[in-house]
Amino acid sequence: MIPKRFEYFCPTSLQEAISLLGTYGEEAKLLAGGQSLLSLLKLRVADPKYLIDLGRIAELAYIREPGACDAAARTDGPEGEIAIGALTTYAAIKGSRLLQGRCPLLPQTAAVVGDVQVRNRGTLGGSLAHADPAGDMPAAVLALRAELKAVGPSGERWIRAEEFFLGTFATALRPDEILTEIRVPVLKAEKAVYLKAARRPSDFALVGVAVCLKLGRDQACEEVAIGVTGVTEKPYRATGVEGRLRGRRLEPKAIEDAASAITLGVEVSESIHASQGYRSHLARVYASRALQAAR
Amino acid sequence: MLNLDELFVTRKWVGKPVRRDQDIRFIRGEATYVDDLEMECGHVAFLRSIYAHARIKRIDTSKAAALSGVLAVVTGEDVARETRPIVPRAITRPATQYVMAVEKVRYVGEPLVAVVAEDRYLAEDALELIDVEYEPLRPLVEIEDALREDAPLIFEEAGSNELLHEKLEHGNIEAAYREADLFVKERFRLHRYSSTPLENWAIIAKHEKGDDAFVVWANDQQPGRSTTNVCNMLGIPNSGLRLIVPDSGGGFGIKLAIWPYIVILCLLARRTDRAVKWVQTRREHLLAGTHAPDARVEIELALRRDGRILGLSIKDIQNDGSFIHTAGIYGLIKFATMVGCYDIGATRAELVSVVTNKGPTVQNRGVGKPTMIFVLERMVDIAARRVGLDPAEMRFRNFVQPGQMPYSTPSGEIYESGNYPECLRKALSLSGYEEFRKRKEEMREQGRYLGIGMSASIEPGTSNLGYYYTHRGLPEYMGNAEGAIVGVDYDGNVNVLLGSVDEGQGHATTTAQVVADMLGIDPGRVSMSTHLDSLISPFLGHSGCYSNKFNDVDLGAVIMATKKVRDKMLRIASHALGVEAGELTFRNGEICWAKDERRSIAFKEIATVAYKKILLLPEGMEPGLKEIAYYKNPAAKPPSKANFNVQLTHSNSVHMATVEVDVDTGAVTIVKYVIVHDCGTQINPGIVEGMAIGSTVHGIGAVLYEEFVYDENGQLLSTSFMDYLKPLAVGLPRFEVAHVESPCPTTLLGTKAVGEGGAIGSLAALANAVEDALAPFGVKVTSLPITPEKVVRAVRETGEI
Ligand SMILES: Cc1cc2nc3c(=O)[nH]c(=O)nc-3n(C[C@H](O)[C@H](O)[C@H](O)COP(=O)(O)OP(=O)(O)OC[C@H]3O[C@@H](n4cnc5c(N)ncnc54)[C@H](O)[C@@H]3O)c2cc1C
């Protein structure tokens, strides 16, 4: 680890962090679990002058079910929602009883991120803010239709997951904002699955598909949301697939058919581990398999 | 082989899986690696070429030199003025290369400028201030690029990009071809991969001005050769260099090539009058820290209709990148055991070493044998299909039989012992071969594709250095040997010093077992420093840890030195007890009279006489209780083109892999893996098993994951462990390891090589298994690695991996 010189700050409150960020602006970088940022510093790809470590801000690490009125203030979701602090680690999400019971997609996804060390340090907020085009959590929050809270000098605002990811390493966060909380709805009636294709168990996804599916009468698809990662420059909702599924009975043929729309309208990326053609093929295979598994 | 009942006083330790207590410091994080040495140092960083092939027009280092905290900035030109060029070992054409780039860069990552600064951060900052003007030349990345008519020359003075082109024929190949009923021919492509030890290269160099001598600490794998190379290149006498090797975190051959950087560090130390330190980063390691060459191999078998192989021809072209020191040696090593486990009477080999603009190559675990066994064992499967035999039967028909041992291959390689059919029989039974074939059919009905593949391989060890003699007259080194010092200290405990080093193999434990049984003591009383100091350690040009020589010449030297000590102890005891030496025996750290054990003298007492009460020594005996011995393998033949042996012991193994292939995603899962291994006498079966499995995992990495991928400009795309994929513990099968023991007649204990074997035999076993699984699709495996993408493409389109 031979980064360029930087000045290090270690605020203990959100307020302090926001004011530091306000002072140093674009020359500063926030540090959460460091599982992406440290490699960039090491390779000198990122060379911030100021590093603001969020690690000591205890108020940003939690998983809880907010009171009913708090929830009602923002959403009309009948089954409530769960709030997760941005600094919550993958390990905490994976081990959370609350999430396992009321939003199993998140623990299931967190469990396949990297390896134990990465999961012990990496955070949900860091993963989303970093917006790696192959990150796992973005696919899950897309399928869950989560909402993300950004806090800046001028107050807070909520961003829908769908509007959060703008491109490779690019999000709707402004340079002076900190992502503080992620809210996911409790979806008891929906089945959810995350499936990931990777060269080795702890690798980034070549393709990752998260599915939330609600079946109605006759096994027909009542509601479906699909988050896809690894396939293109950013994680996205596979609206083409969703459209072909709604109202249809999920027979193998229908699934195959819908899955073939997974890369519709996106420029499929290429790397030494997967060409465009192979990645597109994998995306179709994984979309089918994820739907089969959620059925 | 010695009579072990005579050699050993007890039979308590050799042959047991003794726990490696000597190595507990590694587990506790208490080892001393080069980077752990506390010293006031200047820190070194290298500016490396961003082009694969370019002329260096101008280097401006003025801004870097002016940065506060920078102690020296040195270019390749500066280095060339103070050093001699690298001496190649095998190539026949002239090629001039220095330890840093001069005039031209020949691969991405080649060191251009070295900076010394007060700390590494500053040194790296300084690199960013250096301005290099390049004139890009056409990059020659693949073998085909370098051999094209209009290809530019990477070394103009060579007149060709082929630096070695050798044809060797042994046995009557014409006759074999005349007698044959059919021929099977195939081309294979092997990729670039490497070992990537946990610890990268690390060096500290210091210049003792008063003596004009260098002291160097480095995790060097072959100090015997490195000291020679470094002194030659710096033009200093042997006495001008003291090389110290502390603990080392893995070698696998890759640390044989560290000496060019020792040369640079010495120059920097002299120039700055400071100790200087360089610790290679992982990126540097992957980029420029040496690989195994990629290769194209054409192979042809001349067969009788009944499956007997009469003749074997290969044309082997290896992509040696741009490091001329070791270019060409892979081919020569491949050639030596090209017949594998088979009785093949005639061989023909055409060996070509091509320079390209890929990174440097050096000996990597197995050195060419993985490639050779891969192509041979693929061919045996292909040929079996042609003649309508089961692959196992095909092998049984061609094996060298136990009764033929010692067996000489057409070129003179001597297989000293082994029972190849027995290994295969054992492997067939452990893998449940017959039942599996039935299960495979059932699974296919369900759309699941399972396959089983086998390979039989030779695992040669103890290089007869000088096999690259063929071209340059008599080689600098011949045969193989090692030195050891064994001493009994004041307390009557034993300590051992070797000329070799240890990169994690557990030498201290193995040595303690042997010495303990030779002296009738507990291994806990035997300590061995695995650190090396060229000023103190017994030393030969061969000294180092490579080609699995430890079990042979290293232990040979330990045994010979222990015998000397033991004889001396007996003479002192005999004198002290007034008993004939012949009537004395060793018992629990004492020497006693066989007829009455109460008449005894403890080791500590003997040591007291030897070191302190020296007037009690027998008439004329030297004081002290420490002996040095050198031991050379007796089977080495001197260089001759007609008849030579490249390696001096020959272990063998059979690997049997069962895989399942997901034809939709291309994922290959190893369901079961059986290794039957014969390395002669086992000293520590625990270590042997670890080696057999560890080396196999290395091969699994090579087949399924690891590849240095270059783009058409010669840029390496796999420069981190995110892209250069090592196999992980998760996702590996359980290994079943079984043994056959055919003691080696030409080593003292009957031992043979262990450590490379799995890296050799696993490639073909896995490839054969994948081909078997994909038989319904008619897929043929002719290249590695077997990536999921290649599988899918083969199944759906090309029919070939
Ligand atoms: C070996 C390894 C394997 C991995 N495998 C996977 C994998 O399989 N799947 C996967 O998805 N990921 C993987 N990762 C990446 C990992 O998930 C990272 O943890 C994650 O991308 C970043 O989270 P972090 O908390 O570590 O953030 P950091 O690395 O500290 O920060 C990342 C970026 O986000 C910004 N940031 C962090 N927190 C906030 C915030 N609250 N508000 C605004 N900006 C913020 C930082 O400024 C920085 O730019 C792997 C990483 C490693 C090292």
Domain that holds residue B443: 364-465+645-798
Tell me the shortest Cα–Cα distance from A282 to chain B, in angstroms.
Answer: 6
- A235 CB near ligand 1 (under 6 Å): no
Nearest CA in chain B to A196: B665
Residues of A in contact with B727 (CB under 8 A): 200
pLDDT given at position A224: 95
Residues of B in contact with A274 (CB under 8 A): 789
Does residue B713 contact residue B47 with C-beta atoms inside 8 Å?
Answer: no
Q: Which residues of chain A are in CATH 3.30.390.50 domains?
A: 191-294
- A150 CB near ligand 1 (under 6 Å): no
- A204 CB near ligand 1 (under 6 Å): yes
Whose CA is closest to atom 1 on ligand 1? A114
Does residue B112 contact residue B131 with C-beta atoms inside 8 Å?
Answer: no
pLDDT given at position B475: 83
Does domain A191-294 fall into CATH 3.30.390.50?
yes
Q: Which amino acid is at A212?
A: C
Number of domains in chain B: 3
- A30 CB near ligand 1 (under 6 Å): yes
pLDDT given at position B470: 52
pLDDT given at position B469: 64
pLDDT given at position B472: 63
Mutate to test the interface with A, among B706, B789, B796 (most CBs of A within 10 A): B789
pLDDT given at position A70: 53
Structure tokens at B400: 């060298």
CATH number of the structural domain A58-185 = 3.30.465.10
Residues of A in contact with B722 (CB under 8 A): 203-204
In the Cβ-directed half-sphere of B256, how many Cα atoms lie within 13 Å? 23
Rg (CA), chain A: 19
- A148 CB near ligand 1 (under 6 Å): no
Which atom of ligand 1 is nearest the CA belonging to A204?
Answer: 8
pLDDT, one tens digit per residue, over B734-752 is 999 999 999 999 999 999 9
pLDDT, mean of residues B50-56? 98
CATH architecture of A7-53: 2-Layer Sandwich (3.30)
* B640 within some domain: no
Indicate yes or no: CB of A278 within 8 angstroms of CB of B281.
no
Sign of CA dihedral B223, B224, B230, B235: positive
Nearest CA in chain B to A278: B789
Domain end residue (candidates: B251, B279, B307): B279
CA B35 to the chain's CA centroid: 23
pLDDT, one tens digit per residue, over B157-210 is 999 999 999 999 999 999 999 999 999 999 999 999 999 999 999 999 999 999
- Count CB neighbours of B27 within 10 A: 9
Dihedral, CA of residue B302, residue B307, residue B309 and residue B313, to nearest 10: 40
Indicate yes or no: CB of B788 within 8 angstroms of CB of A202.
no
Task: Give the phi and the psi of residue B121 in degrees, each rounded to 5.
Answer: -60, -45
- Is the domain of B59 the same as that of B99? yes
Mean pLDDT, rounded, of chain B: 96
Its pTM stands at 0.95
Domain end residue (candidates: B279, B311, B327): B279
* B332 within some domain: no
Mutate to test the interface with A, among B129, B664, B724 (most CBs of A within 10 A): B664
Residues from A in contact with B at Cβ < 8 Å: 2-5, 39, 43-44, 197, 199-204, 272-275, 278, 281-282, 285
ipTM score of complex: 0.94
* B25 within some domain: yes
- A122 CB near ligand 1 (under 6 Å): yes
What is the CATH number for B456? 3.30.365.10
**Which stretches of chain A score pLDDT less than 50?**
69, 71-73, 75-76, 78
- Is the domain of B570 the same as that of B587? yes
Indicate yes or no: CB of B730 within 8 angstroms of CB of A200.
yes
Task: Give the phi and the psi of residue B751 in degrees, each rounded to 5.
Answer: -80, 160
Nearest CA in chain A to B121: A2
- Is the domain of B539 the same as that of B573? yes
- Is the domain of B785 the same as that of B670? yes
pLDDT, one tens digit per residue, over B268-280 is 999 999 999 999 9
Annotate A1-10 with b (16+ C-beta within 10 A) or e (fewer). ebbeebeebe
pLDDT given at position A1: 75
pLDDT given at position B505: 94
Indicate yes or no: CB of A43 within 8 angstroms of CB of B283.
yes
pLDDT given at position A76: 47
pLDDT given at position A72: 46
- A136 CB near ligand 1 (under 6 Å): yes
pLDDT, mean of residues B258-272? 98
Tell me the shortest Cα–Cα distance from A160 to chain B, in angstroms.
Answer: 31
- Is the domain of B488 the same as that of B612? yes
DSSP string computed for A6-67? -EEE--SSHHHHHHHHHHHGGGEEEESS-TTHHHHHHTTS---SEEEEGGG-GGG--EE---
- A88 CB near ligand 1 (under 6 Å): no
Annotate B237-250 with b (16+ C-beta within 10 A) or e (fewer). eeebbbbbbbbbbb
Residues of B in contact with A282 (CB under 8 A): 665
CA distance B744 to B1: 7
pLDDT, mean of residues B646-662? 97
**Is the N-terminal amide bond of B785 cis, ω within 30° of 0?**
yes
Give SS3 for B226. Answer: helix
pLDDT band at B641 (very low <50, low <70, confident <90, very high): confident
